Amino acid sequence: MKTALATVTISGTLKEKLEAAAAAGFDGVEIFENDLTQYERSPREVRKMADDLGLEIIALQPFRDMEGMPERLRQQKREMLKRKMEVAHELGTSRLLMCSNVQSYASGDRDQCAADLRFLAEMAEKEGMTLGYEALAWGYHIADYMDAWDLVKRTDHPNLGINLDTFHMYSRGNTLDCLRDEIPVDKIALVQIADAPIMPRQDYLTYSRHSRCFPGQGDMPVVEFLQVLKDKGFDDYLSHEIFNDEFRSSSPIAKAIDGMRSLIWLDDQTVSKEETKTQPVTVPDVKDIEFIEFAVEGESGEELIKTLAQLGFHETHKHVSKNVSLMRQGNINLILNREPASQAHEHFQKHGVSVCALGFLTENVKETLRMAERYRAERFANQAGPGELNIPAIRGIGDSLVYLVGANSRYRFFDVDFVEIEGIKGEQGVGLTRVDHVGQTVSNVDFLSAGFFYKSIFGFEIEPRQDLPDIHGLVVSRTATNKDKSVRIPINMTNARDASAERFMKKAGGSGVHQIAFACKDIFAAVKNMDQEKQLPIPDNYYRDLEARLGLEPALVKKLKEHNIMYDENEAGAFFHCYTEEICGVFFEVVQRVEGYNNYGESNAYVRLASQARQELK
């Protein structure tokens, strides 16, 4: 598979875009005409720059409203294409891409349109060029790729092929039947592959300009599309052409790496004729969250430690050589890292007291690392002392790390690198058993990337988005989970400058963990044993609504109210949960799941968000 990126996909100058594409490992680029027009260097210089970076310029695009035009405009379009082919020669590309006409005054006569395209194809033949014709989803007469193929067939010229764009195809509900049964590989001029969330039928142009994303980040069946191409023996370029507001306002190299990661993922989901289905790509089997590591320094983390103590945690172990301690309860491991020469220290310098790393328990560390490298994750070089564990790690969300801990070891990580603190007899606690979920907040430009990080590298599923009403705006959330939901990572973002997610970003200095939820078997017993000084108060109106809405017994409602416990239920089971106030940018939740309840109490989120906002004001 050869990979390419249309320069319109990412931000920056044309030079920055080419450098980002090369750094991410792309083989080629499509030059979007606006990028070239506004650039100060000549097309020949752009070609040399691409050559020096090891990039092939695979196409110049787009050329609009080329067919079915009135006579005066028809001649103008022909002259324009003649001049643009001169530019294409200077760029060193032999492909030009045309879009279906969107003008209401254009002719819909297929024979006339075919005659226009044939004339242009003959011009291209003389110049050694190939033209690709694409159906825009909002084209006036040609909007479906099947109709574009009909026009290409009518034109019947070797220098004209069809350009296939998954966004335009799927946004209109097109099937793959025409591609599967009719279009030969040698008539495919170029393939542009994009994804998007499925939305109700709407203004296609607005949908296209703002909602596209990389394959695997949306809901379109892009895997099926590529499988059909592979079944037909297609081996040319797969190119991204993405219009996305967030992409165009974020780091070009970060988005280019995202784009390459998505094409690798897409390739891994499909099988070519030469491959066999008996050799699937291995998906790492992440079993649990083995530990959560906090960056603290000096006395700065005392408020955090006090809150954890109120939740029943105590420092049970000290590291053998570093200023690092461990707090345990049930199967929960919380690391407090005060070591001055460490990644945790660097994280503290940027973000203050915060979660600097997660430890994933995985069946095959070596295979997980291989997948991380394949998907362009950055390896972190850890420093371990003599005889200490050297747990491998990769760069995660924001400035955090993800450590990979072997699930089949005879020893836990703290058996090797830590010693028990004298005077601590056994594990103390209030009945918390394990980490239920860990919430992360990211910027709006990194929301899709964060979910795809877990999906591509770890094989997590990304659950449908949830809209959480905040008193200052809307918070959007999607949860990444492993197969059995033993690892759950809700990812939040907002476009509202004063909503809770944005307030966290400002306080924390960027993306990070904002929530940690601990599971228990009996939340009433746990809360009874907890110091409730830092518990988040819930208004009485919530409990009146709860009683009326769900018909709960008054005795249960009274018990919930006494302990600020919230409640939700569905056909699968029930959910009890309560919160601490925010401490150092993070808040803790205690949850009890009854039977098969797998949600997160989303119906209560607006009350919790309002309570947290009030608490911040205090």
| Residue set of the binding site for a divalent metal cation | 134, 165, 192, 241
User: Tokens 């760029």 map to which residue?
Assistant: 91
d(CA 343, CA 395): 11
Q: Which of 84, 164, 89 lies closest to 132 in space, CA to CA?
A: 164
Residue 284: asked if its preceding bond is cis (omega within 30°), the reply is no
- Structural element, H or E, at residue 550: helix 540-550
3-state secondary structure (DSSP) of residue 210:
helix
3-state secondary structure (DSSP) of residue 95:
strand
d(CA 586, CA 603): 21
d(CA 347, CA 356): 6
10 Å Cβ neighbour count for 301? 22
CB proximity list for 183: less than 8 A, separation 6 or greater: 149, 162
Dihedral angle sign, alpha carbons of residues 301, 306, 311, 315: positive
d(CA 212, CA 34): 19
Q: Which of 442, 426, 406, 432 lies closest to 334 in space, CA to CA?
A: 432
Annotation: binding site: 134, 165, 192, 241
The runs of H, that is alpha helices, within 172-313 are 177-181, 204-211, 222-231, 252-268, 302-310
With 0-12 / 13-18 / 19 or more C-beta atoms within 10 angstroms meaning exposed / middle / buried, residue 357 is buried
CB proximity list for 394: less than 8 A, separation 6 or greater: 369, 372, 377, 378, 379, 380, 401, 402, 404, 457
The encoded tokens of residue 100 equal 């279906």
Q: Which of 571, 593, 327 lies closest to 437 in space, CA to CA?
A: 593
CB proximity list for 28: less than 8 A, separation 6 or greater: 2, 3, 4, 5, 55, 56, 57, 58, 237, 239
Residues in the chain: 618
Backbone angles phi, psi at 158, to 5 degrees: -65, -20
The encoded tokens of residue 125 equal 């033949």
Residue 280: asked if its preceding bond is cis (omega within 30°), the reply is no
The encoded tokens of residue 471 equal 């008193």
